[in-house]
Chains A and B, each alone.
Chain A
């Protein structure tokens, strides 16, 4: 009889039920979309931020010590080096799938011997790097690493060059202006000790960084000019990372201080420090360090984005609870004679509350289920509009929405339940 009464109330009093269900639908829709995006936003924001540069720098041990003691300039002056052949190990680390990109760099001071150079030809730094280098991962997958994707914000007049274009170079805009260099010019670059190369200018780099005053060429070209075949000065790595917590900060200071279980947790979580640790393991005489400002900014942006979405979720659910509370209270007032009658024929407060909550629960869950479905779609719209990608459907979102819908139903029903408990049949049945 209980469910017969509930069914009759739901099927024969559709208007008020539809309003409650729609309110729940709206709340669940926003909650589903926001939670779905929130749980996925870490990877998405990380991927977006990775487009703006590296968050881990690998240096030779000697240069790293100089950096710690003095500054980056001292490290650049160092001739300590990494082995280019070791770089093939990077795609084999535990968190290889989180390595979005990486590029080696080798810098060398050169003299530019142009036709109108005069008695004191200009000097500049030439940077050797990979542009789009093909590597084979541990699982046999192909990986492309290099500057083209690491410096996607550079504007290059003319065009990028390929790794095998050993006779080509890019020139920074400031240097090109100062030395009167144009696209198509051929520069004679003297690396000292009789090592010189003719390089044709394939493009001009427009950027606000130090590269505006530099030349950029394939790594092998600069290795030849510097007489450092097979050597690399540093490697920049862009990795998808988890924001640091206390464990990550402790591990970054000293991984040896962790217990075995903490070490396992840290190693198997994509903290910037644990990825750096794994890079140390595969590169000879290397020290990999997270770029603290970048990783902390990423963590901060991520935390703020997630907080914003949590607030939107909480506000939408609070609004739903308030709207449902109003609708329920109005419904109880409207149904006061019916509730009074139930009490008059012997129903206890608990029985009537159970009946009203059951009606409300079925209505709310139906609205919640509809809202969940719509929310999944809404999340995809947000994903494509903001990140240009789909949002993953996660079971935790469904579980969270079920719990939240339950909480909203109970919270929304509290005022009407209190009113219902106070309702005296003698008052409503005789209209006093």
Chain B
């Protein structure tokens, strides 16, 4: 494994799937992100690391169309999203982004397959067979009718991954996906990510865990809202 430290975005030939230019997010006088710029080409696995309060989650919210920057430009799949309203952001989020959360955020009264179908329902049409196939891909075919309370943490995270992938998003954003998992389940989840990456899915993974960060092809470190380090892993 090799690491290259560089301060500037690495030039790429194809237009990037995601491009940030001088993106700033301020809460009053506090700048959670301060003039952050980066490009993420399609098919890349990018890890974002940094201490608590460094701006990782803020960056994920803006890239995931859950929040708007105070200033700067964000281009996602060719759309400038910085100035879009709630409804337009919702449309882009639905069609382009898959979200994976540290706390899974499964709906407690829906079983595993229904939790996957929720994403289908708000995207287009629910298809239970397809949702069951998605659960099968993450190794949960036999747990499809179990409620989240009947699943282990690792299983819940795999349902969350199946839900994020069911609409074939061009970009998957994972916020501390292994933060609540034991080593065995962390291994399963990372194996799923590897497979996704091999299939060409663009992955941005926020993590505290250096081991998880090294799984990505590139690693960006944030601190106090600034990009302080960029490392390419071979």
Which residues of A approach B to under 8 Å, CB–CB? Answer: 1-2, 4-5, 8-9, 11-13, 337-338, 340-349, 351, 424-426, 429-430, 432
Are B114 and A8 neighbours in the complex by a CB distance under 8 Å?
yes
Residues of A within 8 A of B163 (CB): 345
List the count of A-B residue pairs having beta carbons below 8 Å apart: 76
Interchain CB contact (< 8 A) of B94 among A9, A13, A338, A346: A346
Q: What string of 1s and 0s marks CB contacts (under 8 Å) between B45-89 and chain A?
A: 000000000000100010010110000000000000000001100
Give the number of residues in B that approach A within 8 Å (Cβ atoms).
Answer: 33
Residues of B within 8 A of A424 (CB): 66-67
Binding site for A on B (CB under 8 A): 57, 61, 64, 66-67, 86-87, 90-91, 93-95, 99, 101, 103, 105, 107-111, 114, 117-123, 126, 147, 163, 175
Q: Report if A426-B66 is in contact (Cβ < 8 Å); known contacts: A343-B90, A346-B93, A348-B90.
A: yes
Bound-complex Cα distance A407 to B119 (A): 32
Which of B57, B94, B118, B119 has the most chain A CB atoms closer than 10 A to its own CB?
Answer: B118
The 9 closest A-B pairs by CB, nearest first: A346-B94, A12-B109, A426-B66, A346-B122, A1-B121, A1-B126, A426-B61, A345-B119, A426-B67
Establish whether residues B122 and A429, one from each chain, have CB atoms under 8 Å apart when the complex forms.
Answer: no
| Contact A2:B109 (CB < 8 A) given known A345-B94, A348-B90, A430-B61 | no
Task: Say whether chain A's binding surface is mostly helix, strand, loop, or mixed.
Answer: helix
Q: A5-B114, A348-B87 are in contact. List 19 more A-B contacts (CB 8 A).
A: A5-B110, A5-B121, A8-B114, A9-B109, A338-B108, A340-B105, A344-B64, A344-B66, A345-B93, A345-B99, A346-B91, A346-B94, A346-B95, A346-B122, A346-B123, A425-B66, A426-B61, A429-B105, A430-B61
Q: Is the CB of B105 within 8 A of A341?
A: yes
Hey, which chain A residues are within 8 Å of B86, CB to CB? 349
Residue pair A8, B61 in contact (C-beta under 8 Å): no
Known: A12-B147, A424-B66. A346 touches B105 (CB 8 A): no
User: Cβ of A425: which chain B residues have Cβ within 8 Å of it?
Assistant: 66
- Residues of B within 8 Å of A429, CB to CB, are 66, 101, 103, 105
Measured in the bound complex, the distance between the Cα atoms of B5 and A276 in whole Å is 107
User: Which B residues lie within 8 Å of A348 (CB)?
Assistant: 87, 90
Name A344's contact: one of B95, B99, B103 (CB within 8 Å).
B99
* Inter-chain contact A345/B114, CB cutoff 8 Å: no
Query: How far is B103's CA from A337's CA once the two chains are assembled, in angstroms?
Result: 10
A286 to B111 Cα, complex, angstroms: 83
Closest chain B CB from A335 CB (angstroms): 9
Closest approach, in angstroms, between the C-beta of A139 and any C-beta of chain B? 63
The residue in chain A whose Cβ has the minimal distance to the Cβ of B99 is A344
Closest residue of chain B to A343 (Cβ to Cβ) is B90
B121 touches A338 (CB 8 A): no
Check A337 against B57 for contact (C-beta < 8 Å).
Answer: no
15 sampled A-B residue pairs with Cβ under 8 A: A4-B114, A5-B118, A12-B109, A338-B105, A338-B107, A341-B105, A342-B118, A342-B122, A346-B91, A346-B94, A346-B95, A346-B122, A349-B86, A424-B67, A430-B57
Residues of A within 8 A of B91 (CB): 346
Alpha-carbon distance between A342 and B163 when the two chains are bound, in angstroms? 12
Least CB distance, A10 to chain B, in whole angstroms: 9
Contacting residue for A347 out of B109, B110, B122, CB 8 A: B122
Q: Does the CB pair A2–B121 fall under 8 Å?
A: yes
In the complex, what residue of chain A is closest to B128 when comparing beta carbons? A1
User: Does the CB pair B114–A344 fall under 8 Å?
Assistant: no
Contacts of B66 in A (CB 8 A): 344, 424-426, 429
Bound form: Cα–Cα A369–B146 in Å: 33
Among the listed B90, B108, B118, which residue makes an inter-chain contact with A1, where contact means beta carbons less than 8 Å apart?
Answer: B118
CB distance from B79 to the nearest CB of A (A): 15
Q: What distance in Å separates the Cβ of A11 from its nearest Cβ neighbour in chain B?
A: 8
**CA separation between A341 and B116, bound complex, in Å?**
12
- In the complex, A351→B118 CA distance in Å? 12
Contacts of A341 in B (CB 8 A): 105, 107
Residues of B within 8 A of A345 (CB): 93-94, 99, 118-119, 122-123, 163
- How close is B180's CB to chain A, nearest CB, in angstroms? 13
